[in-house]
Structure 1
Amino acid sequence: MVAQNKSSMPNVIIIFTDDQGYQDVGVFGSPLIKTPNLDQMAADGIRFTDFYSASPVCSPSRAALLTGSYPTRVGVPKVLWPNRPGGLSNQEWTIADMLKAQQYATACIGKWHLGDELHYLPTKQGFDSYFGIPFSNDMSVNPNCKVAENIIFREGMTLDSLREKKWRKSKVPLMKQDAVVEYPVDQTTLTKRYTESAVDFITENKDAPFFLYLAHTMPHIPLYASKGFKGKSKRGLYGDVIEEVDWSVGKILRTLEILGIDDTTLVIYTSDNGPWKLDNGRGGSALPLRGFKFQTYEGGMRVPMIAQWKGKIAAGSVCSQVASTIDFLPTIAYLTDGEMSGKPIDGKNIWKLLSGKKTKSPHEKEGFFYYKDTIAEAIRYKDWKLRVVKDKIELYNLSKDISEENNVAEGNPKVVRKLREKLEDFDADLKQNTHRF
């Protein structure tokens, strides 16, 4: 591959964790979890306080990130399951498709969860390579999956047992390209192996533009940490897991620095949705937000986000404007002169927020919408948030009530009416303009 002009063709790395709570990073207020690398990344770049995933669950949030659209628009409104129909159509235009057309090297490492049939896998969605598990780590294996000739079987499994149509919870396969190479995967090694693979990819492509989508399996349950991290955190196993992810971030950032490409690489870190509501410290924390994964309260969809690009993003910046994972595609398109698909999408170019050249969110005029499955449950419009679930109307002023404790709908009927109309109008329009192939 011919080397490109890095000033106009930046490398892009998106690190996407699974079910990490808003508070579960030091700079976002975690009292017990130590994240020195993420804290330093924020010190060297920008932290977004009002950043949202486009769904409170995994498959839809991943579809949204890659396509720049609310999940319903691209046909992935719900969680996908192994060996069941459905996935992100390979006719969609993903970030990887866009950058591959720009002669970028593209790699997906980690959790995919956008369909496990061959035509849905990353190598059919713009990625040159794939290494990871095809869905959540509490699921099972698709008995019809493609198997590599040199597959490694563990825990007494065989090809015959893999082919059985039997649900084996949390016994998941590790894939390389489109074939299973290990079954079941040793989950204690996943964060480390993903990181090693990411470092190898970065090193191999240091002289030409690349896009790395690193979607960590953790901290989705069941939780696993490697020997070097297990039992180390004051926050228990969940803390161990996050601290190992933090180590991974540090390893990647140091690799960029050693290779001399940290000033030509945009690195973004965020989560797919809020934390599980679990006892005994097994789940994360969304404090001071209300709610958890599966919910359209802030704790289900507002997530930590940190971005770094040495020399382009001012060190120590903080942005309190609304932004979302759906904004990644149009922003990256702007930075790389990438071509958009021409189909309607929902994301906005947020480079002016990232670079500190603008103080207002591009979502301010229209609003940001909270979907659960195919249902538009809420809208954030400036500081106001309206939530309508089963005819229960809730209105919060998030600038004064970040924890959504005081429902002020009764005292603000005009605001309720205006926001409900915006919510219903947007949802009707979206459902008339879904992507159809």
Structure 2
Amino acid sequence: MTSLLPFLILVDSTTTSTSSDEGSSNDRSSSTSSSRSGSPNFIVFFVDDLGYGDLGFTGHPTTETPNLDRLAFNGKILTTWYSGCNVCTGSRASLMTGRQFARTGLPGVIGPSCSYGLNLNEVTIAEQLKKANYSTAIVGKWHLGQRKVYLPGSRGFDYYLGIPFSDDMGIGRESTCPAEQFTKEETVSPIDEKFNLDTWSARHMYEEMGLMKARLFTSSNDSIEKLQQDKDKPDKGTKWLPLVYQEFNQTRIVEQPVDFTTLAEKYSNFATSFIENNKDSPNPFFLYVPFSHVHTTEAGTTTENQYVGCKYRNSTKRGIFGDALAETDWITGNIVQKVRDLGLEEDTLILFTSDNGPWAMRGSSAGSEGLFTGRFAEGYKNTAKGSNWEGGIREPAFAYWKVSITPFTRTSEIISSLDVFPTLSALAGLPLPQDRPFDGKDMSEILLNEDGKSDHDFLFFYGTCSGEEYYSISSVRHGKYKAHWCTAPGLGHFNESLTKRYDPPLLFDIEKDPSEAEPISFNQMPTKKEDLMAMNRILKAYAMEKSTFQFGNITQEPDGPGEEPGKYALCCDRSRECYCNDRAGIFNLGTKEHHGQYHKALGNREPSPPINKYQNMLQSLE
């Protein structure tokens, strides 16, 4: 396959459609490549920290997401899709493996210098699809380990471009848009020495909730000792956010720090180029798009803790979050339009959802949980990200597959991110590995049939509020019922005194009461026969799950070249404090840096973005 490397920066966004007409796409596709027989292509869109109430098709009044709305309405809207975890790493582990994240031993989230990642004995979707000769690529946020042995290139993906973890786990940059002018006098301040250490300010919030606790290592005491050393020895490589490119497991850091202004263009061009390169291949492709958008950034690095490229700045009524979401919609539109233009639409299943609910404490820079407010949770400021209330784990979702999925349909059947692995496996004609339990179910009957039913009789949600070591069952969905054994506020508002435990569990009719406002029963058994019978089934299933569930353990891989405690973070050049923004040649063409060099050569000074402490730091290095 042709390398994607030349396509990363050579971007002309004006040539890619931002929306399309469903009726006219047939004419375009009929004149291009003929339909591919055999297994379908798969595209999975996985947005970061997107709430149920953030999109046009789920009812937000001012959001502008025309491409996503069009796809959703022309496919099947999945109104009851649950994430595998209420925070980042756990949700991705569940989607990638089809297994509860607690089975993998991973915590809910791992940091940018973590010495471990998703165990190599876990099978990812990409590794599974490789058995059927799929070409595979990922663009965006990985967050299952940043050491090379854990990056996508080692986990079944042919190509990868992205920030390997969350947008706030380091300092990025914003380059200037050509039309912007700033009159404020620019000053340059020296680098604050404290930023030589880990700058991830949200770490304490995750630690306070126990979301960073991993299962103990199964390898050796030496590994446990190294883990402690890693905690005690901060890694300077965490300072600047890296943009990583992999091609058949050859790894290069393209930017450090990443330029948020041009990130969407790079992502869009990478993804569309991958599809273009596979148009004549006899093998199908799998494109996984776990967006870096719309997670907030490290405070002070960008405008209002969000970011957006030049095309969409100040473009929506919803402020910068709306702008960022519009840019996410644009990337999606470009990818889908490429599929249409190449005549692959009838051969491609597209799934869309989010990793977890919005980070409520980030205010207008973050998203909205919509009607999933957890109204019964009095005194909780956050029932979204980090909680197992509906707002933290129930996500907007749809499936689109021209001809195969009936347009203008919707279903309220219970679906989970856990289901992606078994569903894609089934559609690719692949049996599931027999040496491990899978918590996900094949949802293809729901997608392809009008009356398809969910195979989830009991869908359990694991969390940290139970008071038990590591993770335990927090709640469960059973038919129309949802039961909570414990509840707590989400990330950033956690307080142990607000944690509540229930015996028997708090019970809701979630179909009638999606806001979780009026419980059927509260610290007592239900009185109505139907509800009582359901509660007894739930208690029996809970006992079975508790007695049979096998928690996984982390197995840390041996150090590679140049790795040791304090040196696990991604770094382009440690002698330069991992600051390498002097790209040349192909990596510079079309970027803002190249534009700036042009002005410099002519003796004209390019205007700079508004000054903040991080931009001062960046300028002092240039």
TM-score (normalizing by structure 2) = 0.64
Instruction: Confirm whether residue 183 of structure 1 aligns to residue 259 of structure 2.
Output: no
RMSD: 2.4
Q: Which runs of 5 or more structure 2 residues have no equivalent in the other structure?
A: 2-32, 172-187, 201-238, 298-305, 374-382, 465-470, 487-499, 556-622
Match of 1:400, as an amino acid?
K
Instruction: Confirm whether residue 307 of structure 1 aligns to residue 404 of structure 2.
Output: no
Offset of 1:187 from its aligned partner? 1.5
Corresponding position of 1:318: 410
Match of 1:189, as an amino acid?
T
Offset of 1:139 from its aligned partner? 0.6
Corresponding position of 1:199: 272
Match of 1:42, as an amino acid?
A
C-alpha separation in 2, matches of 1:282 and 1:171: 21
State the SS of the aligned residue for 1:418: helix
Instruction: Confirm whether residue 226 of structure 1 aligns to residue 296 of structure 2.
Output: no
Corresponding position of 1:29: 59
Instruction: Confirm whether residue 394 of structure 1 aligns to residue 506 of structure 2.
Output: yes
Match of 1:377, as an amino acid?
S
State the SS of the aligned residue for 2:72: helix
Select which of 427, 440, 443 maps to 1:350.
443
C-alpha separation in 2, matches of 1:15 and 1:4: 25
C-alpha separation in 2, matches of 1:56 and 1:387: 15
C-alpha separation in 1, matches of 2:92 and 2:518: 32
State the SS of the aligned residue for 1:386: strand
Match of 1:63, as an amino acid?
A
Offset of 1:357 from its aligned partner? 4.8
C-alpha separation in 2, matches of 1:199 and 1:88: 28
State the SS of the aligned residue for 1:245: helix
User: Which sits farther off after the overlay, 176-185 or 250-259?
Assistant: 176-185
Match of 2:402, as an amino acid?
K
User: Which digits, 9 at most, give the CA deviation of each residue in 1:212-249, with x for residues without a partner?
Assistant: 11111111012111111111111111111111111111
Corresponding position of 2:69: 39
Match of 1:399, as an amino acid?
E
Match of 1:216, as an amino acid?
F
User: Which sits farther off after the overlay, 337-346 or 102-111?
Assistant: 337-346
Corresponding position of 1:368: 459
Corresponding position of 2:548: 429
Q: Is the contact made by 1:191 and 1:216 (CA closer than 8 Å) also made in structure 2? A: no
C-alpha separation in 2, matches of 1:4 and 1:99: 23
Offset of 1:279 from its aligned partner? 5.6
Corresponding position of 2:164: 134
Where does 1:146-295 land on structure 2 (aligned, <5 Å)?
166-169=197-200, 171-177=240-246, 178-208=251-281, 209-222=284-297, 223-278=306-361, 280-290=363-373, 291-295=383-387
Match of 1:378, as an amino acid?
S
Corresponding position of 2:118: 88
Cα distance change, pair 98–31 in 1 and its aligned pair in 2 (3 A): same
State the SS of the aligned residue for 2:517: coil
Q: Is the contact made by 2:51 and 2:391 (CA closer than 8 Å) also made in structure 1? A: yes
Match of 1:196, as an amino acid?
N
Offset of 1:180 from its aligned partner? 1.7
Cα distance change, pair 334–132 in 1 and its aligned pair in 2 (3 A): same
State the SS of the aligned residue for 1:391: strand
Cα distance change, pair 172–255 in 1 and its aligned pair in 2 (3 A): same
- The answer to which structure has the higher strand fraction is 1
C-alpha separation in 1, matches of 2:104 and 2:91: 11
State the SS of the aligned residue for 1:232: coil
User: Which sits farther off after the overlay, 197-206 or 391-400?
Assistant: 391-400
Match of 2:338, as an amino acid?
T
C-alpha separation in 2, matches of 1:192 and 1:411: 55
Percent identical? 36
Match of 1:173, as an amino acid?
P
Cα distance change, pair 411–18 in 1 and its aligned pair in 2 (3 A): same
Offset of 1:24 from its aligned partner? 0.9
Corresponding position of 1:14: 44
User: Which digits, 9 at most, give the CA deviation of each residue in 1:134-165, with x for residues without a partner?
Assistant: 11111138xxxxxxxxxxxxxx9xxxx9xx96
State the SS of the aligned residue for 1:431: coil
Q: Which runs of 5 or more structure 1 residues have no equivalent in the other structure?
A: 142-155
C-alpha separation in 2, matches of 1:103 and 1:179: 25
C-alpha separation in 2, matches of 1:430 and 1:207: 45
C-alpha separation in 1, matches of 2:288 and 2:453: 28
State the SS of the aligned residue for 1:138: coil
Corresponding position of 2:151: 121
Offset of 1:355 from its aligned partner? 0.6
Offset of 1:23 from its aligned partner? 1.1
Offset of 1:171 from its aligned partner? 3.2
TM-score (normalizing by structure 1) = 0.90
Match of 2:546, as an amino acid?
D
User: Which digits, 9 at most, give the CA deviation of each residue in 1:292-345, with x for residues without a partner?
Assistant: 000000000000111111111111110110001111111111111124222211
Q: Is the contact made by 1:8 and 1:335 (CA closer than 8 Å) also made in structure 2? A: no
Cα distance change, pair 339–123 in 1 and its aligned pair in 2 (3 A): farther
Q: Is the contact made by 2:36 and 2:344 (CA closer than 8 Å) also made in structure 1? A: no
C-alpha separation in 2, matches of 1:4 and 1:32: 39
C-alpha separation in 2, matches of 1:4 and 1:227: 37
Q: Is the contact made by 1:331 and 1:349 (CA closer than 8 Å) also made in structure 2? A: yes
Match of 1:286, as an amino acid?
E
Corresponding position of 2:480: 383
Cα distance change, pair 82–424 in 1 and its aligned pair in 2 (3 A): farther
* Structure (1 or 2) with the larger CA radius of gyration: 2
Q: Is the contact made by 2:47 and 2:290 (CA closer than 8 Å) also made in structure 1? A: yes
Instruction: Confirm whether residue 72 of structure 1 aligns to residue 97 of structure 2.
Output: no
C-alpha separation in 1, matches of 2:538 and 2:43: 36
Offset of 1:273 from its aligned partner? 0.4
C-alpha separation in 2, matches of 1:316 and 1:408: 33
Q: Is the contact made by 2:67 and 2:332 (CA closer than 8 Å) also made in structure 1? A: yes
State the SS of the aligned residue for 1:281: helix
Match of 1:274, as an amino acid?
G
Cα distance change, pair 280–67 in 1 and its aligned pair in 2 (3 A): closer
Corresponding position of 1:148: none
Cα distance change, pair 125–231 in 1 and its aligned pair in 2 (3 A): same
Corresponding position of 2:133: 103
Offset of 1:81 from its aligned partner? 0.7
Match of 2:197, as an amino acid?
K
C-alpha separation in 1, matches of 2:37 and 2:166: 37
Q: Is the contact made by 1:77 and 1:372 (CA closer than 8 Å) also made in structure 2? A: no
State the SS of the aligned residue for 1:263: helix
Match of 1:427, as an amino acid?
K
User: Which digits, 9 at most, give the CA deviation of each residue in 1:13-69, with x for residues without a partner?
Assistant: 101100000011101011110111111101221110000111000001001101111
Cα distance change, pair 406–248 in 1 and its aligned pair in 2 (3 A): same
C-alpha separation in 2, matches of 1:419 and 1:189: 49
Q: Is the contact made by 1:74 and 1:92 (CA closer than 8 Å) also made in structure 2? A: yes
Cα distance change, pair 85–165 in 1 and its aligned pair in 2 (3 A): farther
State the SS of the aligned residue for 2:360: coil
C-alpha separation in 1, matches of 2:310 and 2:157: 31
